Amino acid sequence: MYYRATRAAVLASVLSAVAFAPCHCMAQADADLWPMAKGTSWTLETTMVDAATHMQRKATQLVTVTQSREGKAGTIATLTYSIGGQLTQVERYMITPLGVYRTAAGLDGNAAVSPIMPLIKYPATPGAKWQWTGTVTQGKKKSQSTATLNAVGFESVKTPAGTYKALHVHSSTTSTENGKPQVIANDLWFAKGVGMVLQKATFGTITVRAVVSKVSLAKD
């Protein structure tokens, strides 16, 4: 339960947004930064460390694109995270010519992000920066968030699944719920034609590192 809660906090709290236009003219190279064909999956070797308690936990996560369909503005996809067959996180995305946007997250994927978050902005330009202010709403609970994101650049990332040239995206998010702010630093690396190959996140005394060990790409 503790791992599940912290995983959800890391992924659901890093939020941002931008408007998008209906168009399906995305460049193939950019579109491949996070392939979202139904059935695509990534196996992530994940380690969580709490510096305050010296607790360390390791787990193997399976991330699967369970739904993917074309909408008026772009591709709508659902990703599920599971450990040992147990569901731990659901994330929903919109992929448009302007980027990849998170629209919802949470255990059931029902924590709505408003406005939606541009996790990756196209074209993928090293040095690009963007900001977001919005809310995450789950039932009657609502948290206010602000975020600054930037494309650090393309870097070589060595993983158990191989070595990739990956776009490094860094974000710093401050979320406030019941008057209590929480700062989250999140670093993600995306390889063309592969997807997310590495994640490092820090919030409070907790750090999470997830590295890809297997990639299974489905065809559109």
Looking at residue 27, its pLDDT comes to 38
DSSP three-state, residue 125: coil
Looking at residue 179, its pLDDT comes to 78
Looking at residue 24, its pLDDT comes to 32
How distant is the alpha carbon of residue 20 from its chain centre?
A: 19
Tell me the whole-structure pTM to 2 decimals.
0.85
- Tell me the C-alpha distance between 171 and 14, whole Å: 7
Per-residue pLDDT tens digits of the chain, which is 220 residues long: 333 444 443 333 332 222 222 333 333 445 589 999 999 999 999 999 999 999 999 999 999 999 999 999 899 999 999 999 999 999 999 999 999 999 999 988 989 999 999 999 999 999 999 999 999 998 888 889 999 999 999 999 999 999 999 999 999 999 887 778 889 999 999 999 999 999 999 999 999 999 999 999 998 6
Q: How many residues does the chain have?
A: 220
- Tell me the C-alpha distance between 99 and 95, whole Å: 6
Count of helix runs (H) and strand runs (E) in the chain: 2, 12
C-alpha angle 73-192-78 in degrees, rounded to nearest 5 = 45
